[in-house]
Structure 1
Amino acid sequence: MQYDTILYDLAGGIATITLNRPDKMNALTPQMRAELAEALKKAGTTARVIVLTGAGAAFCSGQDLGEGSTAAAVDLERVLRDEYEPVIRAIATVPVPVIAAVNGPAAGAGASLALAADVVIATRSAYFLQAFTRIGLIPDAGGTWALPRQVGLPRALGAALFAEKIEAEQAADWGMIWEVFDDDTFEAGWRARAEQLAAGPTQAYRAVKTAMRASLENDLDTQLSLEAKLQGKCGQTRDFKEGVLAFREKRKALFEGR
């Protein structure tokens, strides 16, 4: 697929997917959603880590409210089912870690998109905004699933009902995101994190992602069984053998991702 609304770059095992409508604060259109889903699928077969970020001053302002005709003519259930869900599911199931490098405001579905990632790193001037009730809607694109699990029900309800900005530092304090960098060190910060994951034990990361996400729904017995199964597979990898050997030899492990 030729990309018109995103940029795709693969280097050093890092696939960087950049939302590229800076004049529209990277608002999401049907074409962008389709390109995102395809790019995530592609990156999952070629990269060891994926970084999702935005061009310009914003990460993503959510749904492009200027697209289409009138609001009454939009079948939002279909749009979510056919266009948003494939993107959110791709982030959750792609077999490598996904970092959301939130370079600016993340609002509406843009906030949901960021919070769907495995790791969220934000610049200090960024903020997250559950803006949906401002136009008579509810959080979507997985927002009602992710946010209560990340910050607890009281804070999730407050964020959704009041539709107020959550600054990056507050988001980190609440447990919404992993890390905040000053604006002038933000790019170097997320790149260092991406490089760290790209050089790590990819199969173990895949298993971590599978196990952690499954734990949100599993009971203890089911989770223990899954852990054992995944750990058994990790124990057969070359990276496990390298990790043990490096530990014994008191050196840094050189993981191949296999």
Structure 2
Amino acid sequence: MSNNSILLKIENGVAQIALNRPEVFNSFNREMALALQKTFDTCEADDSVRAIVLTGNGKAFCAGQDLKEVTSPELNPGFKKILEEHYNPIILRIRNLKKPVIGAINGVAAGAGANIALACDIVVANERASFIQAFSLIGLIPDSAGTYFLPRLIGFQKASALAMLGDKISAEEAERLGMIYKYVSSEEFEGTIEKLAIKLANMPTKALGMIKELFNSSMTNTLEEQLAMESKYQIEAAQSEDYAEGVAAFIEKRKPNFKGQ
């Protein structure tokens, strides 16, 4: 399946989604935002997909909003529509997908592009990548859940400074701060992403989805609420076929063959 602005390839249980407007550093217009949402829905509905990779074609991961669109009298959808129909649904889809989403950050991730990256479950960056909360540099505020995830990932003080000053952060610094999982060399980038995606695709998908839901809920739950939710989900996980296979493989001293069921 492909779209002019979004490319989707499914192979070996992995869906690779590529933002495909390299001539404008994969900045979002309405077409690409809506196409990305539909592509996530396709991945959610396809049981053969057990892990998702989100990356960008060309030199950049995503430069955020296409400013030509918002400054065009004919094309500008307005900020209310851009947020409520473009970015907010993208963030919610990433977080609500019951499958792991890897952010494969191949180049600069700026503005909404940076925050879409941070919403992914596991973020691996090319050593050439960088992250910038570019909003304040043009008189805006971080959207796409930047004010939600960034302080939780790196702490209030550092997040506040990055959001206000618009400093560019290297991939190495992003890893040091805990903003991303890790960065790797350009030579290792594609191989690392492929290996990680295949590993996730062969793990117990239901359990991974539950882990994701538990982490989402931990953002607002009390300790008592989180413990109760853990109990509920652990009981459900213990009834899965993958749990039975995992225990059998452990006892038999062999590699488990998880089916995601």
- Alignment TM class, shorter chain as reference: over 0.9
Alignment of 1:227-242 (within 5 A): 227-242=230-245
60 and 35 in structure 1: CA distance in 2 versus 1, 3 angstrom threshold: same
> 2:55 is matched by which residue type in structure 1?
T
- C-alpha deviation, 1:74, in angstroms: 5.8
Runs of 4+ in 1 over 3 A off after TM superposition: none
Conserved? CA contact 2:2–2:8, under 8 Å: no
Q: Distance in 2 between matches of 1:137 and 1:82?
A: 18
Question: Please, what TM-score do these two structures have when normalized by structure 2?
Answer: 0.96
Q: Distance in 1 between matches of 2:126 and 2:94?
A: 21
Partner of 1:132: 135
Q: Determine helix, strand or coil for the equivalent of 1:67.
A: helix
Partner of 2:63: 61
- C-alpha deviation, 1:140, in angstroms: 0.4
Q: Determine helix, strand or coil for the equivalent of 1:184.
A: helix
Q: Distance in 2 between matches of 1:182 and 1:117?
A: 20
Partner of 1:201: 204
Residue 11 (str. 1) matches residue 22 (str. 2):
no
CA RMSD of aligned residues (A): 1.4
Residue 87 (str. 1) matches residue 93 (str. 2):
no
Q: Distance in 2 between matches of 1:45 and 1:184?
A: 34
How many matched pairs? 257
Conserved? CA contact 2:63–2:113, under 8 Å: yes
Partner of 1:182: 185
Q: Distance in 1 between matches of 2:77 and 2:39?
A: 26
Mind listing any 5+ residue stretches in structure 2 that lack a counterpart? none
Q: Deviations over 1:190-248 (max 9, x none)?
A: 11000000000000000100011111110011101100111111101110001001111
- C-alpha deviation, 1:3, in angstroms: 1.6
Partner of 1:25: 25
Q: Deviations over 1:103-158 (max 9, x none)?
A: 00000010011111111010011000000011000110111111011011101011
Q: Distance in 2 between matches of 1:86 and 1:120?
A: 20
Question: Please, what TM-score do these two structures have when normalized by structure 1?
Answer: 0.97
Q: Determine helix, strand or coil for the equivalent of 1:56.
A: coil
Alignment of 1:239-254 (within 5 A): 239-254=242-257
Query: Percent of aligned positions with the same letter in both sequences?
Result: 43
- Equivalent residue in structure 1 for 2:51, among 49, 52, 69: 49
Partner of 1:170: 173
> 1:207 is matched by which residue type in structure 2?
M
